[in-house]
Every structure is written in structure tokens, then in C-alpha cells.
Amino acid sequence: MIRKATIDDVKSIHALLKFYGDRGDLLARPLSRLYDHLRDFSVFTDIQNTKEIIGCCALQFCWEDLAEIRSLAVRDEAFGRSIGRQLVENAFDEARQFKIKSLFTLTYKPDFFEKFGFIKIDKADLPIKIWSDCIQCVKFPDCDETAMLKPLE
């Protein structure tokens, strides 16, 4: 079941992102930033236990027609259940509701996003506005993520 994240979900989202951040699979987010951007997040929960976060994904608006898919994570034991796919498709639906024309992502898993029609782009092609988050990153200016873009129909 996918639903919008609530304040009670923040610590679980943080733990999930920290797990993958510690492995180098994504960039973890500080707890304070998760509270700041809580409304960006959707979570996947078990129908029987809606408090247990199995996966999460954020859709952050960057411009009037551009948004970023970020912080996509699914618990290891839930791999193979199409949870990541469902979270991304949910982000597509939400973006369309807001009339977003293009989505981008910065990722270590480009093969996953290519399945949805994302194409690799040069990071320099992204608007300068997105770099405000990058400046705070521990890897700045040596970003090793792949930038990808998808136009929405």
C-alpha cells in the first residue's frame, strides 16, 4: 500500500535511507532535512501493518515544470516484489497531477531508471536551482551519481 508519509514515519524513513547511505547505494539525508521535506515523501507499507515502512520515495518540485525523484529505497528483504517500480509510478502520477513536464533523478542505479524511460544526461544540463542541495553534499564537487531525465507525456 502506498500512502503519503506522516510525521510518525520520519525516523523509519531515516533509518532506511541511512542503511543504504552507509552502503554507498544512495545519499542519506539528515533527519532534520527529512522533517523539512516530509510532504515530498510517499511510503510503501504492508496492508496488515501500515506503520512498518517497506519502501519510500520523494518527489521534490524544482521548477514549475520540473521535479526530482529522490530518496528511493526499498528494504532488502522486500526486493523482487516490484515495490520500487510502484513507488516510481506513484511519483509519475503525482507529478502529472501537478502538471510537471519532466522528471530527473541523480542515481547510482541508472539501469533501474532506464526501465522507465529515463535517459542519461550531463549534470550541467540541469537547472542551477538544483545545485543548492548539492553544495551541502559530502561528495560536492566530486559527484559520482548519474543524472537522468524523463519527459512526462
Q: What is the pLDDT of residues 54-86, one digit of tens each?
A: 999 999 998 889 999 999 999 999 989 999 999
Q: What is the pLDDT of residues 20-55, one digit of tens each?
A: 988 888 878 889 999 999 999 999 998 777 678 999
Domains in the chain with CATH codes: 2-151 (3.40.630.30)
Q: What is the pLDDT of residues 91-116, one digit of tens each?
A: 999 999 999 999 999 998 999 999 99
Q: Residue 123 — very low, low, confident or very high, per pLDDT cuts 50/70/90?
A: confident
pTM of the model: 0.89
DSSP, residue by residue, 71-134: EEEE-GGGTTSSHHHHHHHHHHHHHHHTT--EEEEEES-HHHHHTTT-EEE-GGGS-GGGHHHH
